[in-house]
Amino acid sequence: MKVIGILGGIASGKSTVAGLFRQRGAVVADADQMGHEVLRDEATKREIREIFGSEVFQDNGEVDRRRLAAKVFGGDDLSHKRLAELEKITHPRIKTRLHALIRSTQSDPSGAPPALIMDAALLVKAGWSDICDNLVFIDTPYPERLKYAAQRGWSEAEFNAREAAQEKLEDKRVLSDYIIRNDGDLEQLDAQVEQYWRDCVLSPTT
Ligand SMILES: CC(C)(COP(=O)(O)OP(=O)(O)OC[C@H]1O[C@@H](n2cnc3c(N)ncnc32)[C@H](O)[C@@H]1O)[C@@H](O)C(=O)NCCC(=O)NCCS
Ligand SMILES: Nc1ncnc2c1ncn2[C@@H]1O[C@H](COP(=O)(O)OP(=O)(O)OP(=O)(O)O)[C@@H](O)[C@H]1O
């Protein structure tokens, strides 16, 4: 089983590509989803309350992700410091979940899939790319990414603040060993995923 990391900018289509791999039989590790699960963990909530206070919690005791996002993605020095504190709490727990999923997928009694796809925006920054055998970069023009993010309700300022908290796009591109261009429709994206699946997953030369 190959562990394949997906790299790309915000709203570049990483999860979409991961979904196309899933349709072909891959297992997908969704780090954003794992991050959300971690925020529901009681020990995590305690640590977050100590640092950020009760203002980032909803009345039902769960973390309010919008309010927490506003605190850590402000784009200023204080926000950067807060984001580093949040990552110190959540990243080790996300990493534990990623490793657990890889282990359980590898040892699945009904057989491991050809690939496990790591859909994690912070793969390189968090040091999780070491787990990957291959890295695929999704190359999506900035205006398209901005448009897709706007459909999620993100302003350009919010988009840029999150992007600034990630590794530079060029650094991710250089680290990758395959590039998928996402500048067309979903059918064109699917065709590239199919080619990669056939050439690099099912019949790899390396
Ligand atoms: C700040 C939080 C509560 C905001 O939640 P929200 O639902 O708005 O965003 P979500 O988690 O779905 O992430 C959406 C996108 O935001 C970007 N993003 C998320 N966390 C970070 C981060 N630490 N640094 C830079 N960008 C980030 C990524 O591109 C991600 O795909 C949440 O993102 C969080 O807890 N982040 C810290 C944990 C983490 O690093 N998760 C990402 C793992 S790859
Ligand atoms: N080629 C495309 N045509 C139409 N819509 C697309 C295309 N590529 C991506 N999208 C849409 O753009 C949005 C963002 O894609 P997606 O969530 O896969 O990005 P992401 O890189 O995983 O985002 P994040 O940075 O939050 O992790 C989604 O709504 C997706 O359907």
One pLDDT digit (tens) per residue for the chain, 206 residues: 999 999 999 999 999 999 999 999 999 999 999 999 999 999 999 999 999 999 999 999 999 999 999 999 988 899 999 999 999 999 999 999 999 999 999 999 999 999 999 999 999 999 999 999 999 999 999 999 999 999 999 999 889 989 988 989 999 999 999 999 999 999 999 999 999 999 999 987 65
pLDDT at residue 203, as a whole number: 87
CA-to-CA distance for 85 and 50, rounded, in angstroms?
11
User: Which ligand sits nearest to residue 14's alpha carbon?
Assistant: 2
Ligand 1 center to 86 CA (angstroms): 10
Ligand 2 center to 17 CA (angstroms): 8
Structural domains in the chain? 2-202 (3.40.50.300)
Which residues approach ligand 1 with their CB closer than 6 A?
A: 10, 31-32, 35, 39, 65, 68-69, 72, 83, 86-87, 90, 94, 120-122, 162, 165-166
pLDDT at residue 206, as a whole number: 59
Is 110 annotated as contributing to ligand binding? no
Ligand 1 center to 149 CA (angstroms): 13
Coil, helix or strand at residue 2: strand
Note the helical H segments in 24-168: 31-39, 42-52, 65-72, 77-106, 142-151, 156-164
CA-to-CA distance for 6 and 16, rounded, in angstroms?
11
